[in-house]
Amino acid sequence: MSAQVADLSTEAERQLSRRLWDPTEEDAALARKTASGLAEAVGEAAAQERLPVIDRLEHLREALAVLAIALARIHGPLAWYLAQACTALSPVLHWRALPADRQSSFGTVVPSSSDLADAERAVRRLHTALTRAATGTGVGAGTDGDGCEGRSDI
């Protein structure tokens, strides 16, 4: 998931830097609000890893809800970006934290710790990308390995 979001963010950076996408004030405001919602949903890596799987999954689903609500309120390049972000995170919808037999689990699976961590990294990358898109400056320059500018509050 984080690789898909990284590719998506690279494309957004390219479009922003070449002025193929010039976010409107409405885009910028929604990008800021969405970035804030993502930061509230999925916290810093060390804090997330200490949580039980059920709580981590709840936070990831909240992040997807933030993206879906934002997507419903916008059109154009930001909507397309958010739609692709939702698609990248969609495996979260197939995860469960509670035990169940195969016949009664509706095809859901329990995610591994690395699956959860990857999805959480993807949400943090989206936070950074949306924050940068809100300023129209691009999304990739000046970030650390997980795209989070070294911030520990997200």
The dihedral sign for the CA sequence 52, 55, 57, 60: negative
The verdict on residue 142 lying in a domain is: no
What mean pLDDT do residues 38-52 have?
A: 97
What mean pLDDT do residues 33-52 have?
A: 97
pLDDT at 137: 64
The verdict on residue 149 lying in a domain is: no
Nearest Cα neighbor of 38 from 132, 134, 133, 130 is 130
| pLDDT tens-digit map of 57-84 | 999 999 999 999 999 999 999 999 999 9
Question: What whole-number distance in Å separates Cα of residue 83 and Cα of residue 27?
Answer: 14
Q: What is the tally of structural domains in the chain?
A: 1
| Whole-number average pLDDT of the chain | 89
Q: How far is CA 100 from CA 14, 19, 68, 96, 112, in A?
A: 44, 50, 28, 9, 16
Cα dihedral 50, 100, 102, 58 in deg (nearest 10): -40
Nearest Cα neighbor of 1 from 54, 67, 47, 52 is 67
Task: With cut-offs at 50, 70 and 90, classify the pLDDT of residue 136.
Answer: confident
pLDDT at 6: 97
Q: Is the per-residue pLDDT at 154 higher than 60?
A: no
What mean pLDDT do residues 75-94 have?
A: 97
Answer whether 133's CB lies under 8 Å from 23's CB.
yes
The verdict on residue 30 lying in a domain is: yes
Give the domain extent around 41. 2-17+24-135
The verdict on residue 9 lying in a domain is: yes
Q: Which residue did the predictor score with more confidence, 153 or 129?
A: 129
The verdict on residue 37 lying in a domain is: yes
The verdict on residue 144 lying in a domain is: no
Question: What whole-number distance in Å separates Cα of residue 17 and Cα of residue 14?
Answer: 5
Question: What whole-number distance in Å separates Cα of residue 108 and Cα of residue 67?
Answer: 22
Task: With cut-offs at 50, 70 and 90, classify the pLDDT of residue 147.
Answer: very low
The verdict on residue 75 lying in a domain is: yes
- The structure's pTM equals 0.87
Length of the chain: 154
The verdict on residue 60 lying in a domain is: yes
Task: With cut-offs at 50, 70 and 90, classify the pLDDT of residue 105.
Answer: very high
Question: What whole-number distance in Å separates Cα of residue 74 and Cα of residue 130?
Answer: 14
